[in-house]
Amino acid sequence: MTTAPTKPIQSLPTDRSLRRYDDIRDLLPGIHNPTPMVRINRVLPQATLDLYLKLEWMNPFGSIKDRAAAYLLAGLLERGELDGKEMVEASSGNTAIALAALATLNGIRLTVTIPDGVPEEKKVQLRMLGAEVWPTPDDLCPVDHPKDGAIALARSLAASHGGTRYVMPNQYENADNVRAHYETTGPEIWHQTDGKVHYFLAGFGTTGTLTGTGRYLKERDPDVKVIAVEPQRGHRLPGLKSFAEAKQPGILDWDVIDDVIRVDDEPAYAMTKRLYREEGLMVGPSTGAIVHAASTLGADHSGLAVGVSPDSGLKYTEFFSDYLGDEGSPQV
């Protein structure tokens, strides 16, 4: 019997130039590891507007929420607020997925209250990551929280039993969410555009992206215009919120918002399909909403615009299937 020669274990430290990493968390974004920006070349009608999409689905856990989740968890750990407790968070999926991945790497249990309407794909991803998932009707608590059932439920879990079991990062009220974008998304965009960005577009959700990125960009250049994209009541654009039906997050800073563009589902999904087919960008419906909003900007808007592409379309196959109907199937 022969024994295979042994080789000493080679220690290969993280080397970003080789895209070699010690730990998945080394891929989290920042000024030295920005998410890519890609120019939109075909679907915008304006000749004077150059729109770049920041592809946040290239983050290690699949969405822009990797940034907030990393900062939320780090904040809890630094302040000693976890201290043996579990986490509970309300999320339409992306924050929860990133939090679940980071939590499991830190040996922390996570319970997620998630709106009922969120696609099954996201719920399954969370369960694969070991999170406990509580699908929650929006109108669970019709007396006090008409459209925020998941948030109300997470709050009640955190507060029940004297608050001894759970701690809630609460992305809607936690300044660490804003700080994540002030310290990463904003500087990345400024650097990637050589400081030439004129417009920044993102959707209303937790508003951490708009507030943090907008604040940073306006500090660098007060002329940067921050444009918020808002869905209509009863929309089917996961991750986005209509403040006609949902409570405004405490972290929203209206001082950084210059304009709000309201978008219907139909043009958002139509634009998402165009991004797939004309730009080769496999994005989620919220990206379609943001690009559609950009397409409605008037001729007085010119220059360089950056829009957020929060996540990919891979988590929305159920929604896309509904939208497509029998399109793309054999027609007999």
Partner 1 sequence: MMTPQTSLTPADTLDCSGLLCPLPVYKAALALGKLGTGDILKLVTTDPGALEDIPAMARQRGDTLLATEDDGATQTFYLAKGATS
Q: For binding to partner 1 (CB under 8 A), which residues are involved?
A: 134, 136, 139-145, 149, 152-153, 155-157, 159-162
CA atoms within 13 Å, Cβ hemisphere of 222: 1
By beta-carbon proximity to partner 1, the closer residue of 124 and 159 is: 159
Q: How far is the CB of 118 from partner 1 (least distance, A)?
A: 16
Q: How, if at all, do strands 303-309 and 37-39 pair?
A: unpaired
By beta-carbon proximity to partner 1, the closer residue of 109 and 274 is: 109
Residue 241 is among the residues annotated as catalytic for this protein: no
Alpha carbon distance 203, 231 (integer Å) = 8
Alpha carbon distance 134, 236 (integer Å) = 20
284: burial class by Cβ within 10 Å (0-12, 13-18, 19+)?
buried
Given a contact cutoff of 8 angstroms between Cβ atoms, the answer to whether 7 and 242 are in contact is: no
H or E element that contains 115: strand 110-115
By beta-carbon proximity to partner 1, the closer residue of 173 and 258 is: 173
Alpha carbon distance 86, 157 (integer Å) = 11
Q: How far is the CB of 140 from partner 1 (least distance, A)?
A: 5
By beta-carbon proximity to partner 1, the closer residue of 149 and 203 is: 149
Among the listed residues 92, 286, 309, 312, the single catalytic one is 286
Q: How, if at all, do strands 166-167 and 132-136 pair?
A: unpaired
By beta-carbon proximity to partner 1, the closer residue of 62 and 149 is: 149
Query: Distance of alpha carbon 311 from its chain centroid, rounded?
Result: 6
Among the listed residues 65, 122, 225, 241, the single catalytic one is 65
Alpha carbon distance 320, 314 (integer Å) = 10
Task: Return the closest-CA partner of residue 267 out of 295, 226, 244.
Answer: 295
Q: How far is the CB of 161 from partner 1 (least distance, A)?
A: 5
Query: Distance of alpha carbon 187 from its chain centroid, rounded?
Result: 17
Q: How far is the CB of 90 from partner 1 (least distance, A)?
A: 12
Residue 242 is among the residues annotated as catalytic for this protein: no
Q: How far is the CB of 87 from partner 1 (least distance, A)?
A: 16
By beta-carbon proximity to partner 1, the closer residue of 78 and 139 is: 139
H or E element that contains 71: helix 65-78
Start-to-end C-alpha separation, the chain:
65
Catalytic residue positions, numbered? 65, 286
